[in-house]
Chain A
């Protein structure tokens, strides 16, 4: 059967036989870069259309269905619109920071693509501290938001950026604790080993109650990290007319917009890897026939299926709940999520020591 790792191996062998190893590595890096950028572009297009369709169906209306069959070309139209818009720089803005901020957002998103396992044996960089790398690089995102808010020379943007900074920094704690809860069970930070350890069942089933609590806390925390509703004060349209990216238009706004959606994809990919088994198919005990059918579906389909399910969950949150006020949001984190996640970690550690998990 075809698989992404086989294609990668074929290309690797062909390159090594044609060129000398250094140039082959350089060309491989070039291919990897192009693949990541094209994945970005495709993800951006698909997620924008998916969001609009999901929102429409929940709001008892049809989504975009005119541009192309079933509205599939809608994203193309949106991209062209954003590209031809005039990119204004406000008068008193700090030009260097203003232009730099969207690029930092995109660079962070690209760096985070590296350790994710998209399919069996298909990872860009399998470093032994994969999870720590993901958690620390995603914190750099807050710098780009603060830069954007400060350099816009606009009161609304500044308020939005300050709120967002406080929010992201707080919710990283809960997300970190939720991740740690699973690491206690796996014993390793390396992504490929985490996925391998779920070969006899996904952690959310094997770790029963503490894993389920950790999953719920993780979903809430990453919704807050990526500035999605119900925690989207930084871009609250009815209050601050777009918050920290008010002054951006054209291509720079497109970069912020894109980086938000790709961030959602990445955190859902992390969630799928840790809790739902990454590219591991669903196996149930000794049901050989069922397991063989599940093995037939390629691993990349499993991975993307799980990730898109989690993305749908995050979109479901957005279109159902109103927004929380800034002090209620921080209240939620420091008084409810953090104590519960710390207690959960303790519980999981106790279970791991006693061996009371599957």
Chain B
């Protein structure tokens, strides 16, 4: 920080955005050096919501630590739980029944749609249009109602145990999901009318925050941030887990590299998720929803790593086990951390208003970064 300050010239203004600010999605402190209206340097300060989750997990057993990851990236909470369960199952070599796999993937995709809906609404609100936020929440509320009926909670689902899912799906589940798909398909064109096709939005997002593919790879960006620059990084395609290798869906790649490309990637991913759900909802196989496991789980000595594709990018769980009932060390690779590191690089030279648009398209959730 000190040497950065030494590079400021006469007439520069240093502004603090946050930690309490309507546009940073969480508690993020940015120190911006402005020259007039142009940004010269952005420095993020993290750690305001650090809760030492990784240390806490060292005293929890392998069944107990899963609920904590819901609170990390609370918008894709189910997918985070899924990653932890997959890591434990990999360590203990548990075979998961087909029905549980299909239910997990269905819930994953519903969570992905809900997360992208909230991102869309919040992004439009940051740019000044307050109306799409409420329209996005109408769809999100339908998904929340589905989750509430089956899992019991709306945000932090905690529906997964190592070996499968906690309870079988509710009898109304299939009907509700089909109703939701009808609702979504009837409203999807509104998104284009209100936001994507609007000339003001396009002018505020095109040619802003260009991220080249080489930079995306070297900074470690994953998820829609990297796919907007043409870097193929969908874990569901490259290292398929569960039944993703048996379903048909496209990986969305855009080569523009600017904010508008990242925006389009997410909008089209929502449509691909609907496609996956449509393929699975009528074909849920019969069987157990949970594999039989021992009451007390003990992983063998060693190191295990699994990765999944959350709504933000690649989420990884790395467990070091000494053979006991609690892990020796857990490390979570959060997608937001790497995506945030690219902010300084792409925001230089643009205006203050553009910074808000760039942060919106990076889709940061700060508790995910701070853990």
Asked whether the complex places CB atoms of A and B closer than 8 A, the reply is yes
Q: Are B134 and A238 in contact (CB under 8 A)?
A: no
Q: Are B134 and A59 in contact (CB under 8 A)?
A: yes
Interface string of B174-210 (1 = CB under 8 A from A): 0000000000000000000010001011011000000
Q: Are A238 and B126 in contact (CB under 8 A)?
A: yes
Q: Are B131 and A236 in contact (CB under 8 A)?
A: no
Is B23 in the interface zone, CB < 8 Å from A? yes
Q: A241-B22, A325-B351 are in contact. Are A320 and B204 (CB under 8 A)?
A: no
Chain B CB count within 10 A is highest, among A61, A321, A328, for A321
Q: Which residue of A60, A229, A321 is within 8 Å of B198 (Cβ)? A: A321
How many interface residues does chain A have, given as a range?
20 to 34
Q: Are A238 and B135 in contact (CB under 8 A)?
A: no
CA of A58 to CA of B138, assembled, Å: 13
Q: Are B200 and A321 in contact (CB under 8 A)?
A: yes
Q: Which residue of B13, B128, B203 is within 8 Å of A238 (Cβ)? A: B128
Is B353 in the interface zone, CB < 8 Å from A? yes
Q: Which residues of B contact A58 (CB under 8 A)?
A: 131
**Shortest CB distance B25–A (Å):** 11
**Shortest CB distance B243–A (Å):** 37
Mostly, the B contact residues are: helix
Q: Which residues of A contact B13 (CB under 8 A)?
A: 155
CA of A220 to CA of B124, assembled, Å: 22
Q: Which residues of B contact A229 (CB under 8 A)?
A: 128
Q: Which residues of B contact A238 (CB under 8 A)?
A: 22-23, 125-128, 356
Q: A58-B131, A230-B128, A322-B124 are in contact. Are A239 and B198 (CB under 8 A)?
A: no
Q: Are A322 and B128 in contact (CB under 8 A)?
A: yes
Is B352 in the interface zone, CB < 8 Å from A? yes
**Shortest CB distance B20–A (Å):** 9
Q: A238-B126, A239-B352 are in contact. Are A322 and B200 (CB under 8 A)?
A: yes
Residue of A nearest to B123 (CB): A322
CA of A89 to CA of B342, assembled, Å: 40
Q: A58-B131, A241-B22, A326-B37 are in contact. Are A155 and B125 (CB under 8 A)?
A: no
| A window 44-103: CB within 8 A of B | 55, 58-61
Q: Are B134 and A328 in contact (CB under 8 A)?
A: no
Q: Which residues of B contact A230 (CB under 8 A)?
A: 128, 200
**Shortest CB distance B183–A (Å):** 13
Interface string of A317-358 (1 = CB under 8 A from B): 001111111111000000000000000000000000000000
Q: Which residue of B37, B129, B354 is within 8 Å of A322 (Cβ)? A: B129
Is A232 in the interface zone, CB < 8 Å from B? yes
**Shortest CB distance A232–B (Å):** 7
**Shortest CB distance B126–A (Å):** 5
Q: Are B128 and A326 in contact (CB under 8 A)?
A: no
| B window 288-325: CB within 8 A of A | none
CA of A233 to CA of B15, assembled, Å: 17
Q: A238-B23, A239-B353, A325-B353 are in contact. Are A320 and B131 (CB under 8 A)?
A: yes
Q: Which residues of B contact A295 (CB under 8 A)?
A: none
Is A237 in the interface zone, CB < 8 Å from B? yes
CA of A265 to CA of B353, assembled, Å: 29
How many interface residues does chain B have, given as a range?
20 to 34
CA of A239 to CA of B22, assembled, Å: 8
Q: Are A325 and B131 in contact (CB under 8 A)?
A: no
Q: Which residues of B contact A233 (CB under 8 A)?
A: 353
Q: Which residues of B contact A236 (CB under 8 A)?
A: 128, 353
Is B331 in the interface zone, CB < 8 Å from A? no
Q: Are B37 and A232 in contact (CB under 8 A)?
A: no
Residue of A nearest to B130 (CB): A319
Q: Which residue of A55, A159, A239, A324 is within 8 Å of B130 (Cβ)? A: A55
Q: Which residues of B contact A239 (CB under 8 A)?
A: 23, 352-353, 356
Q: Which residue of A232, A319, A322 is within 8 Å of B204 (Cβ)? A: A322
Q: Which residues of A contact B131 (CB under 8 A)?
A: 58-59, 319-320
Interface string of B115-148 (1 = CB under 8 A from A): 0000000001111111101110010000000000
Q: Which residues of B contact A237 (CB under 8 A)?
A: 22
Q: Which residues of A contact B134 (CB under 8 A)?
A: 59-61
Residue of A nearest to B22 (CB): A238
CA of A321 to CA of B195, assembled, Å: 9
**Shortest CB distance B61–A (Å):** 43
Q: Are B129 and A325 in contact (CB under 8 A)?
A: no
**Shortest CB distance A54–B (Å):** 11
Q: Are A322 and B23 in contact (CB under 8 A)?
A: no
Q: Which residues of A contact B138 (CB under 8 A)?
A: 60
**Shortest CB distance A55–B (Å):** 7
CA of A135 to CA of B211, assembled, Å: 47
Q: Are B353 and A322 in contact (CB under 8 A)?
A: no
User: Can you list 30 contacts pairing A with B, beta carbon distance less than 8 Å?
Assistant: A58-B131, A59-B131, A59-B133, A59-B135, A60-B138, A61-B134, A159-B37, A230-B128, A232-B128, A238-B22, A238-B23, A238-B128, A239-B356, A320-B131, A321-B198, A321-B200, A322-B127, A322-B201, A322-B204, A323-B200, A324-B200, A324-B203, A325-B204, A325-B353, A325-B354, A326-B37, A326-B351, A326-B353, A327-B351, A328-B203
Which positions in B face A, CB cutoff 8 Å? 13, 15, 21-23, 37, 124-131, 133-135, 138, 194, 198, 200-201, 203-204, 351-354, 356
Which positions in A face B, CB cutoff 8 Å? 55, 58-61, 155-156, 159, 229-230, 232-233, 236-239, 241, 319-328
| Given contact pairs A59-B130, A237-B22, a sample of 16 additional A-B residue pairs in the complex whose CB atoms are under 8 Å apart | A58-B131, A60-B138, A156-B15, A159-B37, A229-B128, A232-B128, A233-B353, A236-B353, A319-B129, A320-B194, A322-B129, A322-B198, A323-B127, A324-B204, A325-B354, A327-B37
